[in-house]
Structure 1
Amino acid sequence: MRGAAKKAASEELERRSQYLSSLVQRTKIMGDNAAAAADHDKKEEEMNVKVRAADMSPALQKHAFRCARETLTSMPKLESKRLALALKKARPCPSMPSFPLQEFDSTYGPAWHCIVGTSFGSYVTHSLGGFLYFSIDKVYILLFRTAVEPVDR
């Protein structure tokens, strides 16, 4: 029985690895496509945003870019943990502190995760349509969502 379970787990891991590889490849192809490059928002170019891999709607991507840029510009130096928290949870808008920006957990539901840094490795499982890996200048940001199942009490 253990051998069958190991084989099933190994096959699942391989399937997910192939999916992520194809996702990265599709993102690279889309990034190389001149027509797709023409559709990029000027604001993204000004922010020096580069999408590295994505399985997320363009509207959610722009939301992440805006939040990340606003938070970065409000910091005198990079604070990775603070930026990750800002993307995951609601926080005050830097230009209007009394107006909270609703970020990913509060806007799109729970179980968003964010990793920020200048150098890191990762291998994650995400919900369909909930993965974005991008950079702004030399800061890399991985934002992804996982499924949450309620605990029966």
Structure 2
Amino acid sequence: MREKKSAMDAASDELERRSRHLSSLIQRTKLKSEEEEKEKGKEEEEEEEVKEEGDPQEQRNVKVRAADMSLAMQRKAFRCAREVMKEMTKLDSKKLALALKKEFDSSYGPAWHCIVGTSFGSYVTHSLGGFLYFSIDKVYVLLFRTAVEPLRH
């Protein structure tokens, strides 16, 4: 009788575990669907082009591809990227990435990272409010911040 009860308890525990797992999957699916809807709305808004004022020869088309960053910080990134690119006769991805990183490190604190190029893949983890992926003409820029924690000895 004891063995039968023990088997029933094990089966009940397993059923409960599976039920919790399914519930968490359903919850994640709901959250993901809501996030996708929000993201879709954001993408539609962000697809609007922002053009630099001034000489039409120097206009650069900016498109936000994805962002988790304040508009003021985004504008600062666009402005900095435009200024650096204006000085270049040929694209220097490293120089542009370094300029953006330094600007954001000095303005908003350490641990900013920047990737610049015409073709690259990435998958990054960023701090809340510290992510921007945009393009200027055919140059793509990924700017993001990570958390920095002090070393413990």
Output the TM-score relative to the length of structure 2.
0.68
More helix by share: 2
Amino acid at match of 1:116: V
The CA deviation at 1:25 is 2.9
Aligned to 1:59: 72
Summarize deviations over 1:32-61 as a string: whole Å, max 9, x none.
6xxxx5xx7653794210000001000000
Larger radius of gyration between Structure 1 and Structure 2: 2
User: In structure 2, how many angstroms separate the alpha carbons of the residues matched to 1:147 and 1:31?
Assistant: 26
The answer on whether the counterparts of 2:51 and 2:62 sit within 8 Å (CA) in structure 1 is: no
Equivalent residue letter for 1:122: S
How do 1:135-146 and structure 2 match up within 5 A?
135-146=135-146
Counterpart of 2:115?
A: 115
Task: Using the TM superposition, give the Cα deviation of residue 27 of structure 1 relative to its aligned residue in structure 2, in angstroms.
Answer: 2.8
In structure 1, the residue matched to 2:15 is none
Alignment-derived partner of residue 148 in structure 1: 148
Unaligned runs of 5+ in 2: 1-24
Question: How many residues align structurally?
Answer: 120
2:124 aligned residue: 124
Root-mean-square deviation over aligned CA pairs: 2.7
Give the CA deviation at 1:29.
2.8
The residue that corresponds to 2:96 in the other structure is: 83
Please list the CA deviations of residues 69-101 of structure 1 after superposition, one character each: whole Å capped at 9, or x if unmatched: 000110110010110000001xxxxxxxxxxxx
CA change 1:30–1:83 in 2 (3 A) is same
- Looking at structure 2, the residues matched to 61 and 31 of structure 1 have their Cα atoms a distance apart, in angstroms, of 11
Aligned to 2:43, what secondary structure does the other structure show? Answer: helix
2:82 and 2:44 map into 1 onto residues whose CA distance is: 25
Please tell me whether residue 43 in structure 1 is matched to residue 52 in structure 2.
yes
Question: Which 5+ residue runs of structure 1 have no aligned equivalent?
Answer: 1-10, 90-102
Matched, 1:105 2:120: no
Question: What is the TM-score when the length of structure 1 is the normalising length?
Answer: 0.68
* Percent identity over paired residues: 66
1:55 to 1:26, Cα distance in 2 relative to 1, 3 A: farther
**Conserved? CA contact 1:56–1:129, under 8 Å:** yes
Q: Matched residues in 2 for 1:68 and 1:116: separation? A: 10
